[in-house]
Amino acid sequence: MWQNFFWAFVVGGLFCVAGQLLMQGCKLTPAHTMVSFVVLGCILGGLGWYQPLIELAGAGATTPIISFGNSLVKGAMQEFSQNGWLGLLTGIFEVIGAGVSAAIIFSFLAALFSRAKS
């Protein structure tokens, strides 16, 4: 059990270190860093290299934004194998639809109950 915690901490921490290095060393904005991680997750997922990382690190690999890119590719590839070229588009929305919908709804609710700073 302690090995699971260790690898989740190490892998998640390495993602954080990489993000910090991108922002400070390369002078990337947080938005550029986030997009870079999503693209990296897409590439690693497409090559089949992200799943072994998930099996090793568990939540350390599934929690960060890089896992979102992996989910996009995983859904697209799964639907492509079942439905052909149309599955490339529908698979992305099928896998991540609930998460994106929740983010929109909770953001809207937060905007209703908070004041913007001027």
- Counting residues of the chain whose pLDDT is more than 90, the rounded percentage is 30
pLDDT at 118: 66
Return d(Cα 65, Cα 72) in angstroms, integer. 11
For residue 46, the surrounding DSSP H or E stretch is: helix 30-47
What mean pLDDT, rounded, does the chain reach? 86
What's the pLDDT tens digit per position in 51-69? 998 899 888 888 778 888 8
Question: Cβ contacts of residue 61 below 8 Å, gap of 6+?
Answer: 8, 11, 12, 50, 53, 54, 67
What's the pLDDT tens digit per position in 2-32? 888 999 999 999 999 999 999 999 988 989 9
Alpha carbon separation from 60 to 11, 15, 69, 115 (Å, rounded): 6, 9, 15, 34
